[in-house]
Amino acid sequence: MTRLTSIATAIAASLALATSAFAQQADLAAKLNEEGKELMFSGKFAEASAKFRDAVARVPEPKYFFNLCTSLYQEGKFDEAMTACSAVDKNNPSAEQKAKTDKLVGKIEAEAKAQGMTLRPAGGGGGNQDLPPDPNNPPDPNNPPNPNHPPPNYQPAVGRPPSGNLVAMGRVENKYTWTLGIDLFGGGGRIGNQFSDGSDVYGNSAAGFRIKSDYLLNAATRIGAQGYMGISHFGKGEMQVGGNYTLDVFDIGVAAYKHLCAPTAQLCFTPLAGIQLALMSPAGEDDGAGNQLFNYSALGARLELGLQYMLGSRMEHVLSVAAGANLYSSVFSESQDAFYTAADVGLDKGGAVGYLSIGYTYRFNTPLGSSPFVTLE
């Protein structure tokens, strides 16, 4: 029993050492992979290939072979790139990794064909360049090669480095092309006129939401434009008896903003100023078929100071908090379908409402959200 216990202990210790050694190699491979990606973002493709080769030599994972395939392609080493892409399939890739690899292989083949080159990939993808003989020039059985003077090995196809960088992300920076987001807000203020007893026609608290989309006009100055639409709901005034003087305001506007932060910062202050058209619906007025009517129009302005925190591999997820105010003029237009005049419903006077908001925004780095050709693993 003692002998069996000793053997089991030795086996367990060996397994623990092996697991620890593998974990160390895996950590080092992941570090090398990240360093290679940074080099790719900077256009240093040869240096990136060296990092990726080192990574696959330590842990032959599909993602490292895919990144190596990409960097070799960018170097113009098309045969070696195809070899690395072939190794992706041999190492149990996910369906997404296989699809990305097939797409990249098509790109390599198209570029090689455009340069008049014939591809002959071989090896395991991590740097083995002992390629087979050229099938177009098979050995002559009547004239075997002289072992003292072996023929030179076939040299991998190397062409002109392709123009442009297929990699989707540059160095991780706080920048984007356009965004889509939503804010939830609540606040208080006064809008509209008062009754003869001095009480407000509408309540002093408001809540609502806003859908918004930003477009970064100038990445260097971090100035952009925002289009938005939102709805605010005001409750009843204080002294109403039997009335139903709630107010819904639908805002459609445009605004300009500027991010105040460093190019790689995850935290930004953003002042914003905008103008908006306010469509108003007092007392939940509808057309009798259940459709709410916004029969009164006013002009508005929006002032805001926001704080954003960016998350994600390219800072694509944005959490925000903001303090701001909506300012409204008196109603300047009322629909012919309106049963009451603006004065009848207390909208012959404007107002101002302060608010606090929380929001989420997703950033897109490409026009209209189109997908880039390659994203590194």
CATH code: domain 178-369 is 2.40.160.20
What's the predicted TM-score (pTM) here?
0.56
CB-CB contact of 365 with 172 (8 Å) = no
Q: Would you say residue 237 has pLDDT above 80?
A: no
Joined tokens for residue 179: 């965004």
User: With 0-12 CB in 10 A as exposed, 13-18 as middle and 19+ as buried, what is 298?
Assistant: buried
Distance CA 122, CA 83 (A): 5
The phi-psi region of residue 292 (left if phi > 0; otherwise alpha if psi is between -120 and 50; otherwise beta) is: beta
Average pLDDT over residues 349-375: 79
Q: pLDDT tens digits, residue range 75-84?
A: 888 888 889 9
Average pLDDT over residues 32-40: 86
* Predicted local confidence at residue 224, as pLDDT: 95
**By three-state DSSP, how is residue 374 classified?**
strand
State the CB neighbour count (10 A cutoff) for residue 252.
Answer: 13
Distance CA 90, CA 92 (A): 6
2-114 against 178-369: fold identical: no
For residue 93, which of 72, 64, 50 has the smallest C-alpha distance? Answer: 64
| Residues in Cβ contact with 67 at an 8 Å cutoff, skipping those fewer than 6 apart | 33, 36, 37, 40, 48, 52, 55, 376, 377
* Predicted local confidence at residue 129, as pLDDT: 43
CB-CB contact of 359 with 182 (8 Å) = yes
Joined tokens for residue 46: 């040869």
- Topology of domain 2-114 in CATH is 1.25.40
| Residues in Cβ contact with 84 at an 8 Å cutoff, skipping those fewer than 6 apart | 56, 65, 66, 68, 69, 72, 125, 126
Sorted by where each begins, the domain ranges of the chain are: 2-114, 178-369
- Residue of higher predicted confidence among 262 and 211: 211
CB-CB contact of 165 with 304 (8 Å) = no
Q: Kindly indicate the confidence band of residue 137, based on its pLDDT and cuts at 50, 70 and 90.
A: low
* Predicted local confidence at residue 96, as pLDDT: 87
Instruction: Find which of 112-116, 150-154, 311-315, 360-364 is predicted with most confidence, using mean pLDDT.
Output: 360-364
Where do we find the tokens 């960018």?
A: 74
Q: Would you say residue 89 has pLDDT above 60?
A: yes
- Residue of higher predicted confidence among 287 and 119: 119
CB-CB contact of 167 with 209 (8 Å) = no
Q: Which residues pair with 253 in a beta bridge?
A: 228, 276
Mean of pLDDT over the chain = 80
- Strand pairing category for 267-282 and 202-218: unpaired
